[in-house]
């Protein structure tokens, strides 16, 4: 296991600025879940100049929709969903104060620029490790858009949630860096891909 | 729950992987499978849209209701009483959740005999969304197929939750190739195709995919695919249809025989 940095939400700028792409992180504090439908509603509210159901300042979103909690459990399974579906909404939310995002997969150049501009940060959680990640969730409450079911905004309290920094506030992209490293080395015998 | 064949494939991958971050992802996935099994919670929150393959013996007579109602009734009970996520919307544009994960996507085939064989493949969207199909030219040959599959995997990057199981449907028509690529996922992970040409294509393709460097979780490494499965069918003299269904490591499948 590589070196790990511990961080907390709300995400202050100095906390974000000490993280770089590729860092392994254990995050504790509050996360808000938001998927496609919740993003669409939040951005619509921002456009209309209306009050949002949650305060975004220094907060972090977890792109995820849990399975229902069986009796006696806090939550079911909760791993990340594909982040790029939120790209179209992300710049407006960063402008409104959101600082952290957790998901899986590459972000668009527009989002990466907005991350640098607003001194924000994008982390990946391991896709498909929903049972493991659920162990780090100590509370879960629906706080907005309840009618959306699993797509509602849930307020999660997490302890030592394992993440890796993908896009830091300096414009680095860990997916690109790591692919270049392993892709190039295998280039010599990768000629079947012509 | 993660089937044993997939778990074995993940453990083998851990032996092959050189990247520290990649190994870390594989260890998390193996640990995840253990937790899910012990605590009886889903390995992944995306418990899928339910794809069901049915092989209906032509001597079978079904009475007391329709077969499709029975399948959907089972899906309804499984997803509500089993605490699985309801991930199906009634219309692709209106997007209202059906609240019980119905309807299932059902592919039925009539076969000889008096048995009804079903295979259930809950299909997550993270990998499904990165799947693709293309009508190649016959002159593109095996090389063209490998190139298209690798291009699809590269474009998908970390989105479909690698390490992947890659289903390739080759031949038939547009829709047949897609169906074959999905059916390819139900074979035991890593078992080569019976047809030697298809088996050779599988080998060639997995080598090319694992040379991309995408790695576990897309975080760099040697193991981007756990297996490549090819299913082929005769096709038109002018066609070379190819379809690629990407399947994440949460390759759940279960079957029944009645």
Examine the residue annotation and report whether A24 is marked as an active-site residue of this protein.
Answer: no
Please name each of the domains of chain A with its CATH number.
4-187 (3.20.130.10)
Collapsing DSSP to helix, strand or coil, A162 comes out as strand
**B95: nearest CA in chain A?**
A37
> With a CB-CB cutoff of 8 Å, which residues 166-225 of chain B face chain A?
204, 207-208, 210-215, 217-222
Peptide bond connecting A10 to the previous residue in cis, omega within 30 degrees of 0: yes
Chain B residue numbers touching A67 (CB-CB < 8 A): 41-42, 45, 47, 83-85
Q: Which of A109-113, B1-5, B18-22, B39-43 has the highest mean pLDDT?
A: A109-113
> Which of the residues A39, A118, A154, A189 is marked catalytic?
A39
Long-range contacts of A177-181 (CB under 8 A, 24+ apart): A177/A21, A177/A22, A177/B220, A178/A22, A178/B19, A178/B21, A178/B213, A178/B215, A178/B219, A178/B220, A178/B221, A179/B157, A179/B212, A179/B213, A179/B214, A179/B215, A179/B218, A179/B220, A180/B213, A181/B213, A181/B220
Q: Which residues pair with B106 in a beta bridge?
A: B52
Per residue in B181-221, pLDDT tens?
999 999 999 999 999 999 999 999 999 999 999 999 999 99
Answer whether B19 sits within 8 Å of A178, measured CB to CB: yes
CB contact under 8 A, A67 and B41: yes
User: Domains in chain B, please, with CATH?
Assistant: 49-123 (no CATH), 126-250 (3.30.1330)
CB contact at 8 A, B226 and B165: yes
Mean per-residue pLDDT for B162-168? 96
Q: What is the pLDDT of residue A180?
A: 84
Q: Are strands B116-123 and B254-257 parallel, antiparallel or unpaired?
A: antiparallel
Smallest Cα distance from B161 to chain A, Å:
5
> Is the per-residue pLDDT at A76 higher than 80?
yes
Asked if B159 is an interface residue toward chain A (Cβ–Cβ < 8 A), one would say: yes
pLDDT at A193 over 60: no
Subunit contact A126:B217, Cβ cutoff 8 A: yes
């Amino acid at each position: 296991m590589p070196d790990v940095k511990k961080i907390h939400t709300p995400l202050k700028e100095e906390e974000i600025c000490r993280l770089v792409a590729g860092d392994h992180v254990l995050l504790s504090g509050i996360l808000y879940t938001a998927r496609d439908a919740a993003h669409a509603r939040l951005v619509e509210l921002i456009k209309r100049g209306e009050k949002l159901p949650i305060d975004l300042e220094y907060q972090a979103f977890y792109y995820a929709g849990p399975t229902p909690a069986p009796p006696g459990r806090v939550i079911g399974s909760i791993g990340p969903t594909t982040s790029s579906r939120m790209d179209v909404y992300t710049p407006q939310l960063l402008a409104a104060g959101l600082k952290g995002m957790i998901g899986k997969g590459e972000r668009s150049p527009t989002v990466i620029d907005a991350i640098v501009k607003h001194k924000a940060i994008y982390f990946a959680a391991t896709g498909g490790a929903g049972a493991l990640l659920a162990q780090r969730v100590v509370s879960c409450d629906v706080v907005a858009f309840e009618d959306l079911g699993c797509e509602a905004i849930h307020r999660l309290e997490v302890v030592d949630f394992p993440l890796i920094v993908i896009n830091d506030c300096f414009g680095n992209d860990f997916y690109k860096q790591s692919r270049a490293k392993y892709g190039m080395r295998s280039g010599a015998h990768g000629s079947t891909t012509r | 729950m993660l089937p044993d064949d997939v778990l074995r494939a993940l453990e083998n991958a851990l032996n092959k992987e050189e990247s520290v971050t990649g190994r870390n992802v594989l260890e998390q996935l193996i640990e995840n499978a253990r937790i899910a099994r012990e605590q009886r919670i889903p390995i992944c929150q995306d418990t899928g849209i339910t794809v069901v393959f049915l092989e209906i013996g032509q001597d079978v007579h079904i009475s007391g209701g329709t077969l499709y109602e029975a399948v959907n009734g089972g899906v309804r009970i499984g997803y509500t009483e089993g605490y699985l996520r309801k991930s199906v919307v009634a219309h692709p544009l209106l997007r209202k959740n059906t609240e019980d994960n119905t309807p299932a996507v059902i592919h039925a085939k009539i076969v000889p005999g008096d048995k009804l064989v079903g295979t259930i493949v809950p299909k997550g969207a993270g990998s499904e969304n990165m799947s693709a199909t293309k009508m190649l030219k016959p002159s593109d040959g095996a090389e063209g197929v490998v190139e298209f599959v690798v291009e699809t995997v590269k474009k998908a990057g970390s989105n479909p939750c690698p390490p992947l199981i890659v289903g390739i449907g080759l031949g038939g028509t547009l829709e047949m190739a897609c169906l074959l690529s999905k059916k390819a996922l139900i074979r035991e992970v890593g078992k080569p195709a019976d047809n030697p040409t298809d088996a050779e294509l599988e080998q060639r393709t997995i080598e090319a995919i694992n040379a991309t460097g995408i790695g576990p979780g897309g975080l760099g490494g040697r193991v981007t695919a756990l297996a490549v499965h090819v299913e082929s069918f005769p096709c038109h003299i002018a066609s070379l249809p190819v379809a690629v269904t990407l399947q994440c490591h949460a390759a759940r499948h279960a079957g029944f025989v009645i």
